[in-house]
């Protein structure tokens, strides 16, 4: 009935079992508080550092003024030298940074015209800055010195006017720019009037004033590049366009030359002015200690605060807090400096007047002559009063009792400050993307320490568009993200996790809502080995795992369409979805509630190659080869412009991403967005991975939780900061299409394993090998700690060992491959340097020597507990692993794991004793200053601090106890097991045995085109069997007579189907997939094959068995349609071109591997031989390490290093501690490695916080989860 449409079929059964959909892992309230605290702290830090930088610089200027007494006149050259250091400090930093980049990155030489023009402007700026600050400003008053630096925006305002006139759409800020230019000129006019009109006969003062005006005007050329780029883009000048292009390409060389020029010019001006001012450089060698402390503290504060202010200002912009944490603090800095310097002057003056108690009338001029200039120069009391009086001295030339002088001074100061504000008014409307690159925010890498706030405000790019002008907003292009998940034997809960995650993303970025245009996505699930043989059926059916997936999708669809809290609601109806037969098996296309698609590809291993790497090759060629590239070749054939098409291809490749997922990955949309940010902002990032959290329960999972945490906290952050991440896990990583489609990546990745080493490197750790290929091509791989994903970890000891049996040799093979190509990679990849490769070399050596190291650790505890010689304890510690190593070569893998489990328990108890023995040795020796004690305490401290830096994950640190006692199992027994079983290249996890009685799959015999036949039955297409020809030949006319009765039954069945279809309001068409033309059901169908493959049924039973026409037993499509009660699946078909693509792809790359027994035997033999060679080298190195240590312990009296022992009070006891050199070297090396990782972690945490705060500030609140 129509009125019942949408109502539940069973009103009494409307209760739901709803899985967790919302993000319950992220503490949003705590994060919101963290955001507020972070932004407030950054704003205060930027303001405070700018205040310190400006105040300390102005104090240096004041102390260099004639007549100031904090620093005597004969020591003024030292102050001038410090002012010069403030000017060139940033140039020195830029020079060193550019030299580093020129050495480790590609640097191009600019054209001579570009060099000449750049150096010309740099010469003007450096001369102006030196004259202004070293020569002129020491002769001016403090108020003028504070505000004249704002006048350096004069040329910027003029260029803004020109730029906006050349680009009419930018005339929004034309009036503010003109007003700013007029105000700055007014400030200069008032300044000239105040100083020159005060005493027109004072030639020297006129010279200083003229130099100040000229110097500030020359400094204003500092930001010419910002506006020249903009003018060049909007003009037809070829010179300007080529100039800007050349400057961008050759930045490193230009920065090296310009930095050197600035240093040289500043040194020349300083060196020439000191003798001209009748000062002597000799005093630099003999400065009294008091003056040295004053100067050192002032210049130290100035240099450090300037550098930090620049860094925090950039961080504020990246955090998307431009107004709150960048513009406003810098505006207020000048006012605060003015108040900080002038208010004490007024306070001291008023206090002096009050102290006279009216006994004498005094004005400011007499106060200057009596108190300021009449003080004792050798006064040794507090520095602050002297500094206040020195500041007062700079104002003494004015008559503060005259309103005219005060008014002119105030007018010039206000005019300059307002001019700067109006000149940078456009900054309030800038559109800044989160974690925007520094080079996209600021034109120059250089900051000016002498006028930090002006340089930061004026250096910001003027061509970033205004916020209110959306039609001209230079937005990032919309990117296409393909979610590519591989599945096999995942459980119901695991499948539920990933399907819910995909539906979350559909709700987060609805395709039907045009306001979300930053990215679109499409989900693809590649289901390996999805079909099975079913007795009595003419084609293979979906197995239980594949059917579970379809049921889960329907269930989750229902949850997300009926998730509101209304009691009485209409039941949302499922739209029709598609089921398609494909050359590789089948496909189901689901349109999610918000318009995005899930495409499930069911793979038949008899038709296409199975296993994870081949599923990845399948989607790489389908999504990037077929969907991305084919359309452009089609347009090119139709006469498209080649250059235009090539530009479009490169753009789409750059803006197409693949999110690799496992079949059990659980993630939030925010995690995907954070990865997309990295690839959007940084074009050379080829892949980015998130923080992987293992889920599950039990000791094995607890161990992995701590292991994963330490790996991500320290190892991955160090790789990210100092080089590149070597492995982006396949369970949650975002890849750029341009990187995957690069030479020697996708093509190489689709290579079939032909040698024994290939099976280890290519197939056992496919994600690590893919990253190796990307790194070799020069792409960067990054780690984003804020992007969280959850995946199930092995809960069983055996499954964990088998997983690591794959990972261990694969990791070693790929790292050795990278180390072998160190020279090529360091030249081709800008992110990887030779020091980073050395760090990886030390890491791999540490991993190789891990078994021997564990033996030494156990030996030390045995020596302490049993009170025996260290050499004897070492022999005892080596015996159990040596026996286990021998047994592993003889026993089956399951037996090896059982023995390892027993030994792991024994070693766990021993590790408890080891831990207690270390503590006991500290107590016994009454010292913690032994190398082992220092090492243990330092490592514990580092791990605890690291956990504190990850507050959300801090509880994981308690699993560290389990991790410690499992160290022998993980680094000794597991290493032995994985090395000995290296020749076992099976997957080892999620493997299930076929059910009893299941039909044996047919051999993967490739079929020729002639052997492939098709027939149509009940609206679906089914494959014939090769036995068909044999049966037709042998039975002849007997079969035809029997077929008559068969057809009668068939027609009766069709009538029932038609009645049923009419009753449900559906009509089905038989679709001819060869010709792609829909045809109605034929009134007189051709004879259909009903004979299944002979599986040994006796001839009598075959004759008696009635033909089977039950559609579910014949066609997997109909079976799936009938099993999907809530979701209607309508059969569709591929177009002819895609059909041909899949057949060609299968034939070229994905043809099922033939069952070649001889080749399998050869590969097995080669794997054993490779295993034996590698194991010999591996354990031989460990044996050498143990023998060397054993020798040193036997001859410890001669070969050991003796260091004095200190007690808890750090008092030397007179005893000596003996340490063998090898152990000390290893401890120092490992400790240094961990310290490097710890420092990298601190750096990475800061940038993670910046990114996360920016994300929270830019994403709508309802979208963050």
- For residue 43, give the nearest of 369, 445, 328 by alpha carbon: 328
Cα–chain center distance at 1055: 61
186: Cβ contacts below 8 Å, ≥ 6 apart: 411, 412, 415
The tokens for 405 are 């002088």
What DSSP letter does each residue of 148-217 carry, written as one string? HGGGGGHHHHHHHHHHHHHSGGGGGGHHHHHHHHHHHHHHHHHHHHHHHTT-TT-HHHHHHHHHHHHHHH
What DSSP letter does each residue of 1053-1087 carry, written as one string? HHHHHHHHHHHHT----EEETTTTEEEPPPSSPPP
The angle subtended at Cα 102 by Cα 97 and Cα 103, nearest 5°, is 100
686: Cβ contacts below 8 Å, ≥ 6 apart: 735, 736, 738, 739, 740, 742, 774, 777, 779, 780, 781
The tokens for 1150 are 């994905």
1070-1105 pLDDT, tens digit each = 333 333 333 333 333 333 333 233 333 344 433 344
- What's the rounded Cα separation, in Å, for the pair 344 and 825? 60
- What's the rounded Cα separation, in Å, for the pair 1146 and 604? 12
- What's the rounded Cα separation, in Å, for the pair 194 and 182? 18
Q: Is 1057 within 8 Å of 1050 (Cβ atoms)?
A: no
Task: Check residue 938 and give its pLDDT.
Answer: 80
Q: How many CB atoms lie within 10 A of CB 1173?
A: 11
- For residue 1050, give the nearest of 1083, 1027, 1026, 1024 by alpha carbon: 1083
pTM over cut 0.75: yes
Task: Mark the ranges of the chain whose per-residue pLDDT is less than 50.
Answer: 1-3, 379, 464-474, 993-1113, 1265
972-1025 pLDDT, tens digit each = 999 999 999 998 888 766 665 444 444 444 444 444 333 333 333 333 333 433
What DSSP letter does each residue of 330-399 carry, written as one string? HHHHHHHHHHHHHHHHHHHHHHHHHHTTTSS---HHHHIIIIITTS-TT--S-HHHHHHHHHHHHTTTS-
The tokens for 717 are 């952050």
The tokens for 771 are 């990253």
Q: Is 533 within 8 Å of 1000 (Cβ atoms)?
A: yes
Q: How many CB atoms lie within 10 A of CB 1146?
A: 18
The tokens for 720 are 């990210």
Q: Write phi, then psi, for 997 (nearest 5 degrees).
A: 85, 0
Q: Helices 28-63 and 1221-1258: crossing angle, nearest 10°?
A: 100
882: Cβ contacts below 8 Å, ≥ 6 apart: none
Q: Is 84 within 8 Å of 130 (Cβ atoms)?
A: yes
- For residue 60, give the nearest of 615, 385, 450, 417 by alpha carbon: 450
In three-state secondary structure terms, 512 is coil
Task: Check residue 1001 and give its pLDDT.
Answer: 42
Counted residue by residue, the chain has a size of 1265
Task: Check residue 959 and give its pLDDT.
Answer: 92
Residue with tokens 């920065």, as numbered in its chain: 255
Task: Check residue 932 and give its pLDDT.
Answer: 65
- What's the rounded Cα separation, in Å, for the pair 782 and 773? 15
Task: Check residue 1196 and give its pLDDT.
Answer: 65
986: Cβ contacts below 8 Å, ≥ 6 apart: none
CA-only gyration radius of the chain, Å = 39
Q: Is 988 within 8 Å of 1170 (Cβ atoms)?
A: no
Task: Check residue 1019 and give its pLDDT.
Answer: 36
- What's the rounded Cα separation, in Å, for the pair 206 and 919? 77
Average pLDDT score over the chain: 81
- What's the rounded Cα separation, in Å, for the pair 993 and 996? 9
DSSP-assigned beta bridge partners for residue 532:
541
């Amino acid at each position: 009935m129509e009125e019942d449409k949408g109502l539940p079929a069973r009103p009494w059964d409307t209760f739901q079992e709803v899985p967790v959909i919302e993000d319950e892992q992220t503490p949003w309230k705590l994060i919101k508080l963290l955001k507020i605290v972070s932004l407030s702290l950054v704003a205060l830090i930027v303001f405070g550092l700018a205040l310190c930088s400006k105040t300390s610089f102005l104090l240096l200027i004041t102390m260099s003024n004639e007549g100031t007494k904090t620093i005597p006149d004969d020591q003024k050259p030292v102050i001038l030298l410090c002012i010069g250091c403030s000017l060139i400090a940033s140039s020195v930093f830029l020079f060193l940074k550019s030299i580093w980049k020129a050495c480790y990155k590609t640097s191009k030489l600019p054209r001579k015209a570009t060099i000449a023009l750049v150096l010309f402007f740099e010469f003007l700026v450096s001369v102006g800055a030196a004259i202004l600050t070293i020569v002129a400003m020491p002769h001016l008053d403090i108020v003028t010195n504070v505000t004249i630096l704002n006048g350096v925006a004069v040329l910027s305002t003029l260029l803004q006017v020109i730029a906006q006139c050349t680009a009419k759409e930018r005339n929004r800020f034309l009036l503010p720019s003109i007003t700013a230019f007029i105000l700055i000129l007014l400030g200069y006019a008032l300044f000239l009037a105040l100083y020159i009109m005060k005493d027109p006969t004072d030639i020297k003062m006129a010279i200083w004033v003229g130099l100040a005006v000229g110097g500030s005007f020359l400094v204003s050329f500092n930001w010419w590049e910002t506006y020249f780029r903009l003018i060049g883009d909007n003009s037809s000048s070829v010179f300007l366009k080529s100039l800007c292009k050349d400057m961008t390409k050759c930045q490193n060389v230009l920065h090296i030359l310009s930095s050197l020029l600035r240093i040289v010019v500043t040194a020349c001006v300083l060196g020439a002015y000191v003798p001209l001012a009748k000062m002597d450089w000799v005093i630099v060698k003999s400065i009294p200690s008091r003056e040295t402390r004053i100067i050192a503290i002032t210049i130290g504060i100035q240099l450090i605060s300037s550098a930090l202010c620049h860094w925090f200002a950039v961080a504020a912009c990246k955090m998307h807090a431009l107004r709150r944490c960048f513009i406003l603090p810098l505006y207020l800095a000048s006012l605060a400096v003015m108040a900080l310097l002038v208010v004490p002057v007024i306070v001291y003056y008023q206090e002096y007047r009050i102290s006279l108690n009216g006994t004498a009338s005094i004005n400011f001029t007499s106060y200057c002559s009596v108190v300021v200039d009449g003080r004792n120069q050798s006064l040794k009391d507090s520095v602050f009063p002297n500094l206040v009086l020195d500041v007062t001295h700079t104002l003494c030339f004015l008559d503060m009792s005259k309103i005219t002088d005060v008014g002119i001074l105030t007018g010039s100061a206000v005019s300059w400050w307002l001019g700067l504000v109006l000149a940078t008014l456009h900054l309030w409307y800038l559109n800044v993307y989160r974690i925007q690159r520094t080079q996209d925010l600021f034109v120059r890498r250089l900051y000016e320490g002498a006028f930090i706030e002006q340089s930061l405000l004026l250096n910001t790019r003027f061509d970033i568009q205004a916020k209110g002008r959306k039609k001209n907003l230079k937005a990032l292009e919309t990117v296409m993200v393909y979610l590519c998940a591989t599945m096999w034997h995942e459980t119901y809960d695991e499948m539920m996790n990933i399907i819910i995650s995909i539906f979350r993303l559909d709700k987060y970025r609805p395709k039907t809502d045009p306001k979300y245009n930053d990215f679109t996505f499409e989900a693809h699930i590649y289901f390996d080995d999805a079909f099975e043989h079913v007795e009595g059926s003419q084609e293979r059916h979906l197995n239980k795992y594949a059917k579970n997936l379809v049921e889960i999708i329907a269930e989750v669809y229902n949850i997300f369409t009926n998730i509101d809290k209304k009691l009485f609601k209409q039941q949302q109806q499922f739209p029709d979805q598609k089921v398609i037969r494909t050359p590789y098996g089948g496909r189901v296309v689901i349109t999610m509630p918000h318009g995005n698609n899930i495409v499930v590809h069911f793979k038949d291993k008899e038709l296409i190659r199975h296993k994870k790497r081949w599923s990845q090759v399948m989607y790489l060629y389908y999504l990037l080869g077929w969907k991305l590239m084919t359309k452009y070749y089609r347009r090119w054939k139709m006469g498209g412009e080649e250059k235009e098409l090539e530009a479009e291809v490169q753009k789409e490749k750059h803006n197409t991403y693949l999110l690799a997922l496992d079949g059990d990955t659980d993630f939030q949309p925010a995690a995907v967005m954070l990865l997309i940010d990295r690839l959007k902002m940084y074009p050379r990032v080829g892949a980015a991975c998130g923080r992987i959290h293992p889920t599950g329960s039990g000791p094995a999972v607890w161990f992995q939780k701590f292991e994963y945490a330490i790996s991500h906290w320290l190892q991955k952050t160090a790789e990210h900061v100092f080089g590149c991440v070597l492995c982006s896990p396949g369970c949650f990583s975002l890849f750029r299409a341009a990187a995957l489609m690069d030479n020697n990546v996708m093509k190489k990745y689709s290579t079939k394993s032909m040698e024994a080493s290939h099976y280890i490197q290519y197939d056992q750790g496919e994600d690590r090998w893919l990253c190796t290929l990307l790194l070799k091509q020069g792409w960067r791989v990054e780690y984003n700690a804020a992007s969280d994903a959850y995946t199930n970890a092995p809960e069983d000891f055996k499954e964990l060992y088998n997983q690591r049996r794959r990972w261990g040799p694969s990791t070693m093979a790929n790292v050795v491959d990278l180390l072998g190509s160190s020279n090529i990679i360091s030249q081709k990849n800008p992110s990887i340097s030779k020091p980073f490769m050395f760090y990886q070399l030390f890491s791999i050596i540490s991993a190789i020597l891990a078994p021997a190291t564990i033996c030494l650790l156990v030996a030390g505890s045995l020596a302490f507990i049993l009170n025996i010689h260290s050499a004897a304890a070492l022999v005892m510690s080596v015996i159990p692993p040596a026996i286990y190593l021998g047994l592993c070569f003889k026993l089956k893998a399951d037996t090896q794991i059982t023995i390892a489990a027993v030994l792991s328990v024994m070693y766990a108890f021993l590790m408890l004793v080891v831990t207690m023995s270390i503590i006991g040795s500290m107590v016994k020796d009454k010292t913690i200053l032994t190398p082992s004690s220092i090492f243990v305490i330092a490592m514990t401290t580092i791990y605890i601090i690291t956990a504190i830096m990850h507050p959300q994950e801090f509880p994981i640190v308690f699993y560290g106890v389990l991790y410690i006692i499992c160290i022998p199992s993980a680094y000794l027994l597991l290493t032995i097991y994985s090395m000995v079983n290296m020749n076992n290249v099976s997957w080892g996890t999620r493997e299930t045995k076929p059910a009893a009685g299941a039909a044996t799959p047919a051999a993967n015999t490739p079929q020729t085109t002639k052997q492939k036949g098709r027939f149509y039955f009940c609206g679906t297409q089914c494959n014939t069997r090769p036995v068909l020809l044999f049966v037709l030949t042998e039975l002849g006319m007997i079969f035809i007579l029997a077929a008559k009765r068969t057809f009668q039954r068939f027609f009766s069945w069709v009538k029932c189907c038609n009645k049923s279809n009419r009753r449900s309001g559906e009509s089905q068409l038989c679709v001819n997939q060869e010709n792609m033309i829909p045809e109605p059901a034929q009134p007189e169908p051709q004879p259909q094959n009903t004979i299944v493959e002979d599986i040994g049924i006796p001839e009598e039973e075959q004759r008696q068995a009635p033909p089977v026409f039950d559609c579910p037993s014949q066609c997997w499509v109909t079976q799936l349609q009938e099993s999907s009660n809530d979701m209607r699946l309508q059969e569709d078909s591929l177009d002819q071109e895609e059909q041909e693509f899949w057949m060609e792809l299968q034939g070229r790359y994905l043809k099922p591997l033939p069952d070649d027994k001889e080749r399998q035997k050869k590969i097995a033999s080669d794997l054993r031989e490779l295993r034996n060679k590698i194991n010999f080298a591996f354990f031989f190195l460990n044996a050498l390490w143990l023998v060397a240590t054993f020798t040193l312990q036997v001859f410890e009296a001669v070969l050991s290093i003796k260091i004095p022992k200190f007690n808890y009070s750090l008092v030397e006891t007179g005893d000596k501690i003996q340490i063998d050199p090898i152990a000390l070297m290893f401890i120092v090396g490992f400790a240094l490695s961990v310290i490097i990782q710890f420092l990298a972690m601190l750096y990475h945490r800061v940038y993670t916080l910046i990114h996360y705060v920016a994300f929270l500030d830019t994403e709508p609140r309802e979208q963050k989860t």
